[in-house]
Chains A and B, each alone.
Chain A
């Protein structure tokens, strides 16, 4: 099994290195093919590991090598494949294989084709390190690795000012959160003396409650950054500047869910501190609602999907915060499939419309893009949570959890959000695919994507449909071997059926309303003048607030520090030392005039000096000794 572990882990790295070799060359098709093939290998290995674990095999734990060993500090490079990490591995490898194959078509005309695949595979490798590590240090390395690759991929089209800005924003926001994460790691090391998961989880019960709360909060701050939770959420929408396959892989399916993974992985810790867990859940519910509301009015196709991702991440945190870790992980998995599918569909639409993002300029595309239409509709149905697609099983479960745990406020918020989700998803589908062919006014000539791209997407479509009812049973059996196996059943069957059917009806109503309103939508000028629209459209003015009250004062402070502190104190000191040496050098360069006699004199002077010292010192010692 170790062989499969290494294969799964390192074949993306190999692919990345191969593609990087040709990074500066013009497009060569085989880099795309090789990286995809190697990811396929990784997928196969992960699948073998999955079946091994499903078949009741013990967790695979290897220690590849010692990374640091100084004094008491001992950090090995160890990898662990257990029920949780194998789930993540499957999600990562399935989605990334699909995205790689898809990108061969999507990036077809890009001149940096090879560079794209080098970074994309590097991302997958980092993500695998993140999920497979058996200690927090390895997790952190992967954590930073995905951050770096995400930075490079958001800013992939670095000639665009906005792309660079978005890349830097994402990176800096994540750095802020990573500081919290690092503090958490230091606290763990400080108190436990090891960063290994198993050592830490053993020690959790013996630690002081306040320490645990601190650790929990700081780790969660790290998770907030990666998973773009409020108030560090602004980067995710801006990150849509990157190529769409990147959005599908990184900003929908994998990297942003790393925060959820962290909380799930640290479940013994959060078990001990339910109050922090409750905070996590509340924040998650808030973000779910908050992000969904912003998605209602947005006029940028990719941003709408990004807000939807944010909202779904909120759902996952609700589940994780309430202690239903396996539910969170299940929703993570289902969400990865249908959200990646949605993004890839959006990528097809963008391709067809020559990178147009405003759905109001589309309409009626279902005639020309049948395949994309079907898949995006499927993904939207799954996202809305209609039976029997994947979203129903995972999202309804979260609602049940909230209900069963008697958090009725959370339940209500989530229920409302579910309606909003259905509404904005189908608003998008209606605007893009139905109604008049508005694009003709703008002179576009849409065409369907390459067939192989559609074929590449089809596994995701399949999974989005069946992941719920086909996998739920065996999934629960598997994961609950390591995660707390709480069953969430509403005790009264009447209440249960009312809940389920009620939710379905509400969601269905929202879908119908969205179709009706947007099927033939013209842009509603009067609606746009309303304050509530403005607030939502401007993302609650939060980016504005950040710019005005954080970025600007910081810039001014930096300016002052530069003028007053750096130039006058730091630079002056440094220059002063250099000038001192230069000046003295100029004064004394006659000593080094290249004249042989002078040189001889130097030598004699030196010898005399040494001798004088020697005699003085020897005699001195003799006196002391005598």
Chain B
């Protein structure tokens, strides 16, 4: 009982923190809400960290909740990634929060609710719980997207996201109903047992239901053809929210995708494979189109995030074909993408906070001369996102493509590599813009504060992740991350 309480303590902390911030929101008190929420997240992070590395798999309060919530090594790793991600997102936007008046108490309460939803998602061992968690996170994010109600773009983005998100949510429910109809349970273990107990060809309805669930999850990660919202919503949302959606929310979504499709539907892998391959191809190519034609950096990053989702789908497909090693590559890729994209968005947020620009490619002309340090770091992030060797992004892609090749998906891997080459066009375009144009502006002062220090940290991590094995023998290396991921994945079986 006490042990189980301890297990869910981090989640409780987040919820209580959110409630507290909510009740405090009307106060005018001089309260640094950002740091307060970071503190709460950090506490939860610390508590979760103490469990890292020990193998465990417990259904919490089984007598009350049944088998709907599980705490295992897998969820622990994802909790850490989600909490860490949210924490870094809040910290790196420190300057941005200060420069905009509309970030009041409710904002941080909503962020914490979203984080709670995401954590619950990684713990869900039952489809209804998964749905509720997903909706908790999504509803908070809908509100966050439209948070700057003075900005028509922001309102429009929220509207679009809510309407489309509702449709997606409805499809999830539909799929859930079908699955329940087929198996008589929504609990993942029971579903797996049902699949095992019946012949392969008796699962038509289950598979149809599974497809509906898949549609919802793929909608949320922005896979083509469910991507239509991505660019507009990412662009309209305030920068911190964009970061949260692009990185942390995606981590949580992959947690549930992996749990459902890796753990319990694994036996039906053959059925998912073909649709997944088609989605992969669509996502990789469609995302590239999206990213190529943008003139705003934020929109370009949004478009490219679709491509990155496509890379992860390659690995997911390798998993459905039975190469379970590929799941580690997804985790590693999530981390690598997180580091590089948070860094890149962090620079945008820093600039938006200090210079109030539109952040188009035009605005970056001569950036290399006016902000030499930031430009250097931006280049690192772009290189990492493009998957340039000696950055963490390269290793991420490398693991994914090897996984795909091991699973026999040579064509997909080749397409992925091709798309990675195409991505050089839009990432390097920014680097070229920064360095190949003169600027009338003089060199700006580079000061150390929370935001810049974190950007620097992300830049160092991008490089360390790429070459760390060779240089720093005593620090944990990418191999250690992979090892950790492998350990986490084993708790799913």
Tell me if chains A and B make direct contact, with any CB pair below 8 A. Answer: yes
Give A residues with C-beta under 8 Å from B: 65-68, 577-578, 581-582, 584-586, 588-589, 592, 594, 596, 598-600, 602-603, 605-607, 609-611, 613-615, 617-619, 621-622, 625-626
6 CB-based A-B contacts, threshold 8 Å: A577-B421, A581-B288, A581-B289, A585-B293, A600-B164, A603-B215
| Minimal beta-carbon separation of A17 from chain B (angstroms) | 14
List residues of B (171-229) whose CB comes within 8 Å of A's CBs: 171, 199-201, 203-204, 207-208, 211-212, 214-215, 219, 224-229
| Minimal beta-carbon separation of A623 from chain B (angstroms) | 9
A621 vs B274: C-alpha distance in the bound complex, in angstroms?
12
Flag if A584 contacts B200 (CB, 8 Å). no
Confirm or deny: B278 has a beta carbon within 8 angstroms of a beta carbon on chain A. yes
Confirm or deny: B163 has a beta carbon within 8 angstroms of a beta carbon on chain A. yes
Flag if B293 contacts A589 (CB, 8 Å). yes
A577 vs B203: C-alpha distance in the bound complex, in angstroms?
43
Give B residues with C-beta under 8 Å from A: 159-160, 163-164, 167-168, 171, 199-201, 203-204, 207-208, 211-212, 214-215, 219, 224-229, 231-232, 270-271, 274-275, 278-279, 288-290, 292-293, 421-422, 425, 470, 473
A622 vs B198: C-alpha distance in the bound complex, in angstroms?
13
Extra A-B contacts (4), CB below 8 Å, given A589-B293, A617-B274? A585-B289, A602-B227, A603-B228, A618-B208
Flag if A600 contacts B270 (CB, 8 Å). no
B288 CB contacts on chain A under 8 angstroms? 581
Flag if A67 contacts B470 (CB, 8 Å). yes
A622: which of B163, B168, B204 is its contact (CB, 8 Å)? B204
A619 CB contacts on chain B under 8 angstroms? 204
Q: What are the 3 tightest A-B residue pairs by CB atom distance, in nearest-first order?
A: A606-B225, A599-B228, A622-B201
A594 vs B234: C-alpha distance in the bound complex, in angstroms?
12
Q: Please, which residue of chain B has its CB at the minimum distance from the CB of A67?
A: B470
Flag if B271 contacts A610 (CB, 8 Å). no
B160: which of A578, A588, A596, A617 is its contact (CB, 8 Å)? A596
| Minimal beta-carbon separation of A612 from chain B (angstroms) | 10
A603 vs B228: C-alpha distance in the bound complex, in angstroms?
8
Flag if A613 contacts B470 (CB, 8 Å). no
Most buried by A among B171, B228, B271, B425: B228
Flag if B278 contacts A613 (CB, 8 Å). yes
Q: Using A603-B167, A611-B208, A614-B275 as known contacts, say yes or no to A585 and B292 having CB atoms under 8 A apart.
A: yes
Q: Please, which residue of chain B has its CB at the minimum distance from the CB of A589?
A: B293
B275 CB contacts on chain A under 8 angstroms? 610, 613-614, 617
Flag if A602 contacts B226 (CB, 8 Å). yes
Flag if A617 contacts B271 (CB, 8 Å). yes
Flag if B228 contacts A605 (CB, 8 Å). no
Q: Please, which residue of chain A has its CB at the minimum distance from the CB of B219?
A: A603
A621: which of B200, B231, B278, B470 is its contact (CB, 8 Å)? B200
Flag if A613 contacts B274 (CB, 8 Å). yes
A187 vs B487: C-alpha distance in the bound complex, in angstroms?
41
A618 vs B227: C-alpha distance in the bound complex, in angstroms?
26
| Minimal beta-carbon separation of A141 from chain B (angstroms) | 12
| Minimal beta-carbon separation of B425 from chain A (angstroms) | 5
Most buried by A among B167, B224, B293: B293
Flag if A584 contacts B289 (CB, 8 Å). yes
Q: Please, which residue of chain A has its CB at the minimum distance from the CB of B231?
A: A592
Q: Please, which residue of chain B has its CB at the minimum distance from the CB of A66?
A: B473
Flag if A600 contacts B163 (CB, 8 Å). yes
A607: which of B171, B204, B271 is its contact (CB, 8 Å)? B171
B271: which of A578, A582, A621 is its contact (CB, 8 Å)? A621
| Minimal beta-carbon separation of A603 from chain B (angstroms) | 6
B214 CB contacts on chain A under 8 angstroms? 610
| Minimal beta-carbon separation of A203 from chain B (angstroms) | 27
Flag if A592 contacts B290 (CB, 8 Å). yes
Flag if A614 contacts B201 (CB, 8 Å). no
Flag if B164 contacts A599 (CB, 8 Å). yes
A552 vs B421: C-alpha distance in the bound complex, in angstroms?
35
B168: which of A68, A603, A615 is its contact (CB, 8 Å)? A603
A626 CB contacts on chain B under 8 angstroms? 201
Flag if B207 contacts A603 (CB, 8 Å). no
Flag if A582 contacts B292 (CB, 8 Å). yes
| Minimal beta-carbon separation of A185 from chain B (angstroms) | 18
A577 CB contacts on chain B under 8 angstroms? 421-422
